[in-house]
Amino acid sequence: MSETQTQSPCGCDERTPPEPSHINPPGQSVLRYRLGDHSALLRRMIARLSQQETPAGARPLAALTTRAADDPSLALLDAAATLGDVLTFYQERIANEGFLRTATERLSVLQLARAIGYELKPGVAASTYLAFTLDDSAAAQAEVTIPAGTQVQSIPVKKGEASQTFETSTDFVARRAWNAIKPRLSRPQDLSKGAKTLYLAGIDTRLQQGDFLLFVGEERRKQRGSEQWDVRRVLTVEAVADKDNPQGGYTVVTWEPGLGSDAPPVKPPQNPEIYVFRQRARRFGFNAPDWRTIPLDVKKEYAGNVTSMPPEWPGFEIKESKKALLELDAAYPKIVPESWIALLTPGYVELYRVLKNETAGVANFGLTGQVTRLELDTPEHLSWFERRQTLVLTQAEQLTPAEEPIFDVVTGKQIEVAGVFTDLTPGQPLIVSGKLSESDPLPTAAVVFVEQVISGAGFTTIVLQEQGLGAAQYIRSETTLYANVVAATHGETTTEALGSGDGSRPHQRFKLKKAPLTYVSAKTPTGAATTLTVRVSSVAWAERPSLYAAEPNDANYVVRIADDGTATVRFGDGKQGARLPTGQENVTATYRVGIGQVGEVGAGALSLLKTRPLGVRGVTNPVAASGAEDPETLESARTNAPQTVLTLDRIVSLQDFTDFANAFAGVGKVQATAIRQGERLLIHLTIADASGDPVASSDALFLNLRGAIDAARDPAAVVELASFTPLTFRLKATVQYDSRYLEADVRAALEDALHTAFAFSAREFGQPVTAAEIMEVMHSVAGVIAVDLDELAYVVAPPSTATQKTLGLVKAIRARNVTADALLPVHAARVVDKTIQPAELLLLDQNGIDLTLVSIP
């Protein structure tokens, strides 16, 4: 609109300022509603001085030609313009406060939201799981009841950090046996057919490579002809010490071939005893002189008057006999009756049991000396073992077998634990804590839930709900299960008298003395439930969002949260909600105090029992507290308030899933994706908590959101909920800046701008990072002249789901002089190898900025 030109009586050109336009396109953050500011209003009035007419058509002010600011008439106009400036300013502000998008006052947003039944979210308390340890002394109780409301306090670890109080959510019966359950670290050895490895107790077995082992059981003891026994020669011996127990450890022994036989088919003994033969002997005469080298006259003395000389010493050949006698080459007094011996000859071995041992002097075969004469339990095949080729294994010493160590990682849906724990119940939470790698400085903990308990012989198999531990792999020896686990939430219980009821007064109000009022995560459409209970004359009244539809006698009240976090309880007027009955201090309140992200204490921080049940020795939180959200901001309310009207606490469309989850207390970001698997259409929701952290499937936020969605959605819809996959990137750049600016200030501004632009609140799931937007952010910093982006890369490469095209892009942007069209791809939820992968979120790593600054004069 052009200015209107008039001929001024003062002889100067005066232009009447155009009327302001009040056309406000949709989506504006500020409405234009003013008639003008001081300058425009004054100019407009001065320009119209000569135009003012009386009813008779005269223009009495046309003769007023002065435009001096100190003229009384002009001063009057200036005062009017000042008044108009103030009035139009507030008029515009009031107009802006009348719309949700443009309102800046919290009260305005609150009242506008309340008009559609929406209350600003008061926030939600953090939650975690506490692991209690009972006194394990002999005199201590085996079971201890931990009541709901047991208080545990955190120990601050940072300067300025305040201690936070958590309370248990339910009553829980803890058991001493549940203090620390260890995964099954060993199992009975499998010495069935084909076995080639043996574990022995201790590390001082004195076994060596080449020793012979005997595996024999009741089969051979009861039946002399049984072949269910094995003799094997040791290939390797390895002693494994126990670093925690010098007297412990075990020895690993291997051999070839495996136990049993295929030809003829023979099974190994069941439950065998295991022996090592400590002594090797030979049959008497094994070292007799070679008969062929003996002089003929000597031969005649041994052979007598024979027509032909025998080929060997007379009596040297072992012949079949019904007597089970065996002569050894020396005296072996340590061979005792009932012990085992084995005879070996190339290609064959036989086992015998000693019945009697005696020492005798013998002179034969050109040899003299003492021999050991053994009476055996059977003469079977003794003649097969000729004197010179037979090795006799004796002095069988029994070995103590150990259980076979289990080295498998703890993962998936099932965990075998040592001991019998059939009293674990379905749905009971457990905390699995351990290291994922030997280099981990601290253990990693996860909360899982029992689905089924299967008892075994000295061990228990715990079947977990859902995916259990998923793909996480815990080192078995470094893992512990805690079963004395109970859910806890942030906030400390307090009870107070609010005041006295007065039946003559409508809408009585009482302010809670402590703040902030605690709200905990719940399966409600809002995602939160109050901890406040108000009693009137010892009778509990019910809270409701509004008294609008309350009946005159309804015992209801509403709670309103002020900007400072204080809560006010308001009762009815006898028309909409009942009035309070008259009484002295008859209105009381029990509630909890504490809310928001200050309650997200780290793992291990909660260790101080404020209320210690008898028999409880200690407590800790192996998993960090999570799921908290601070009271809702104005910006969030502008987005969330309309969503309640869109969904009306029911979910139909894909957008409804997003809107519903976004309005849920504790949720910081959500993306709903429709995914087709064959003929099935599935709705997949990827979520993050309000702190920007992943949400474990055991977290209260995850469980309550899933429950609330299930209650609001179409029962026929298939819905899957998952936490996002976090990714981070790094960049390297050379920046030229104006030498008039301080380098430290430019660097700090660049880093701040980058971290802000690529922080959790500024990015969406599945949103890639481009070189162009990085350059745009850096160029927006004051003092920056030019930017050369040298490197743009993931800190840790995404999973192997990346395509070759993606890998090629990543490789290209690692080169120097990254082009503006380069990007780091990020995926939304999708199907990979028949498995649904959640959406990815790519953020700038906290230490991912490497800048080289060059000053330009």
pLDDT at 807: 43
User: Each residue of 298-349: pLDDT tens digit?
Assistant: 888 887 766 677 888 888 888 888 889 999 999 999 999 999 999 999 989 9
Report the pLDDT averaged over residues 133-147. 92
Q: Which of 51-65, 367-381, 395-409 has the lowest mean pLDDT?
A: 51-65
pLDDT at 819: 64
Place of tokens 């839930």: 449
Helices 700-712 + 654-662 axis angle, to 10: 140
Q: For residue 546, give the nearest of 532, 557, 561 by alpha carbon.
A: 557
Q: Residue 513: is its pLDDT beyond 50?
A: yes
Q: Residue 669: is its pLDDT beyond 80?
A: yes
Q: Residue 707: is its pLDDT beyond 60?
A: yes
Q: What is the pTM assigned to this prediction?
A: 0.81
DSSP 3-state assignment of 108?
Answer: helix
pLDDT band for position 817 (cuts 50, 70, 90) = low
Q: Cβ(778)–Cβ(852) under 8 Å? A: no
Q: Which of 14-28, 302-316, 504-518 has the lowest mean pLDDT?
A: 14-28
Could you tell me the domains of the chain?
Answer: 4-97 (no CATH), 127-176+599-620 (no CATH), 188-399 (no CATH), 406-483 (2.40.30), 498-589 (no CATH), 649-723 (3.30.70), 727-856 (no CATH)
Q: For residue 433, give the nearest of 408, 410, 450 by alpha carbon.
A: 410
Q: For residue 663, give the nearest of 118, 116, 128 by alpha carbon.
A: 118
Q: What is the dihedral of CA 757, 758, 762, 767, to 10 degrees?
A: 130
| Alpha-carbon Rg for the chain in angstroms | 45
Q: Residue 757: is its pLDDT beyond 60?
A: yes
Q: Cβ(587)–Cβ(501) under 8 Å? A: yes
26: buried, middle or exposed (CB in 10 Å: 19+, 13-18, 0-12)?
A: exposed
Q: Residue 802: is its pLDDT beyond 70?
A: no
Place of tokens 């001493």: 176
Q: Is 718 left (phi over 0), alpha (psi -120 to 50) or beta?
A: beta
pLDDT band for position 14 (cuts 50, 70, 90) = low
Q: Residue 797: is its pLDDT beyond 90?
A: no
Report the pLDDT averaged over residues 102-121. 84
Paired with 721 in beta bridges are: 685
pLDDT at 205: 93
Q: Across 576-666, where does the E strand assignment appear?
A: 587-593, 606-609, 616-620
DSSP 3-state assignment of 190?
Answer: coil
pLDDT band for position 66 (cuts 50, 70, 90) = confident
Distance CA 785, CA 736 (A): 5
Q: Residue 814: is its pLDDT beyond 60?
A: no
Type of residue numbered 748: A
Q: Which of 245-249, 656-660, 744-748, 751-755 has the lowest mean pLDDT?
A: 245-249
- DSSP labels for 308-351? S--SS-TT-S----SS-EEEESS--TT--TT-EEEEEETTEEEE
pLDDT band for position 353 (cuts 50, 70, 90) = very high
Q: Residue 801: is its pLDDT beyond 60?
A: no
Supply the mean pLDDT for the chain.
90
Report the pLDDT averaged over residues 388-412. 95
Q: Residue 779: is its pLDDT beyond 70?
A: yes
Q: Cβ(429)–Cβ(472) under 8 Å? A: no
User: Each residue of 184-219: pLDDT tens digit?
Assistant: 999 999 999 999 999 999 999 999 999 999 999 999
Q: Residue 165: is its pLDDT beyond 90?
A: yes
pLDDT at 61: 83
Distance CA 720, CA 836 (A): 9
Helices 743-757 + 771-779 axis angle, to 10: 140
Q: Residue 812: is its pLDDT beyond 60?
A: no
Q: Residue 519: is its pLDDT beyond 90?
A: yes
140: buried, middle or exposed (CB in 10 Å: 19+, 13-18, 0-12)?
A: middle
Report the pLDDT averaged over residues 100-108. 86
User: Each residue of 531-552: pLDDT tens digit?
Assistant: 999 999 999 999 998 998 899 9
